[in-house]
Chain A
Amino acid sequence: MRFRASTAAVAMALAGTALAATACGSGTAQVVGNAPGTHAAAPHTTMQVAPPTSTTAVPTAPPTTAPTNPATTPTTAPAASPVSPATVNQLNAALGALGQSLNQADNDLAQAQGDQ
């Protein structure tokens, strides 16, 4: 699962790179409606050139943010907490409620001895 997700992420990044590459060669030209496969085969000879204002047919937007540098990504990130703070709070609240019910039961049993 993780491999597939990573592959997909890489593929998306690569697609953006390809589109950027096709655009940079013609200056103002943009890619219109071509499958990614055709870009890779012959980006400058098989693609149509659209007016600069036509951007609706671009299949995927190129990445607008710089990709993270893999070298700076920590490989030994601290382990995430096994439970959320909300879960801990709920647990404590439930324990409090349990203690309260037990105290009430204690009172019930003590009172029942004197009055049925």
Chain B
Amino acid sequence: MHRPAPRLAATIALAAALGGLGGMLALAAPAGAAGTTATTGTASHPTCTPATVVAAQQQLEAALAGRVTVLGSLSGDVQAATGLAAADRATLTATLATTSAGIGALVQKAPTDTTCLALWQDARSMVQSYRVYAVVAPQTHLAIAGDTADGIEATLAGDEPAIQGAIATAGKNGVNTAAAQASFADLQAQVTAAQGATGGVSATVLAQTPASYPGSSPVFVAARDGVRTAYGDLKTAAADLQAIVADLR
């Protein structure tokens, strides 16, 4: 069966996306309506043929099971994340519920597939419709991280007047507060820097959808880098706070 060039190109592109399936389904997009046979693009990729449908089916079921496990883990992470803002928690919970329902439907359907075409369509839906690994997982953890960083920043910024007041009181009582004042100035700078690094991160990552891929990938990388920068800033700010407490003791 001859495969038209455009379809072959699309199939090869999907093959890259379906790397986790070893190519068995990735290159199995049948050109014909029957969908029970398919040719390979290269000899290095196995094909889904009537003889290998069962193996391909098992491969798809394993891939689905892996996603089910990840989604369960993500749901647990969302529930356990104390630093997650309520609105973002609701957004993530809804996203995970929708994704889990979709993957769950495929889990039910895959064992009933009897053709390579059906398996290939389910595999494509599993990847392209839900993007569990490429979108949902980083989206979840980065939103948690972003919100947690925001919370720490708010706490430290809220404590700044009290810290400043304590330093001033100590100074009036004859305590040498030079070091504490320097630490406080650094604390303020670190908190401000962290706020700049995480501003809007959660909203940005939560706006990503499976359809955003592959454009979502650099968005997630930038978000991760911003939060990691803020993480360093906040650790430094926490050390400043510890130093201030020690200096005023």
A contact set with B: CB distance below 8 Å: 76-83, 87-88, 90-92, 94-95, 97-99, 101-102, 104-106, 108-109, 111-112, 114-116
Contacts and interface: CB of A to CB of B under 8 A. Distances in A.
B166 A79 contact: yes
27 contacts: A76-B173, A76-B174, A79-B175, A81-B245, A81-B249, A82-B162, A82-B241, A82-B244, A88-B241, A94-B82, A94-B83, A94-B155, A95-B152, A95-B238, A98-B145, A98-B149, A98-B227, A98-B234, A99-B231, A101-B77, A101-B141, A101-B145, A102-B228, A105-B224, A112-B134, A116-B133, A116-B213
A105 B228 CA distance: 10
B144 interface: yes
A101 to B, nearest CB: 4
B245 A91 contact: no
B20 interface: yes
Contact of A105 (B127, B142, B213, B244): B142
Contact of B138 (A83, A91, A105, A114): A105
Contacts of B173: 76-79
Nearest to B160: A82
Decide if the interface of chain B is mainly helix, strand, loop or mixed: helix
Contacts of A83: 159, 162-163, 241, 245
A2 B46 CA distance: 83
B81 A116 contact: no
B220 A109 contact: yes
B235 A95 contact: yes
Contacts of A95: 152, 231, 234-235, 238
Interface string B151-168: 110011001001101110
B85 interface: no
A81 B127 CA distance: 54
A112 B138 CA distance: 9
A73 to B, nearest CB: 14
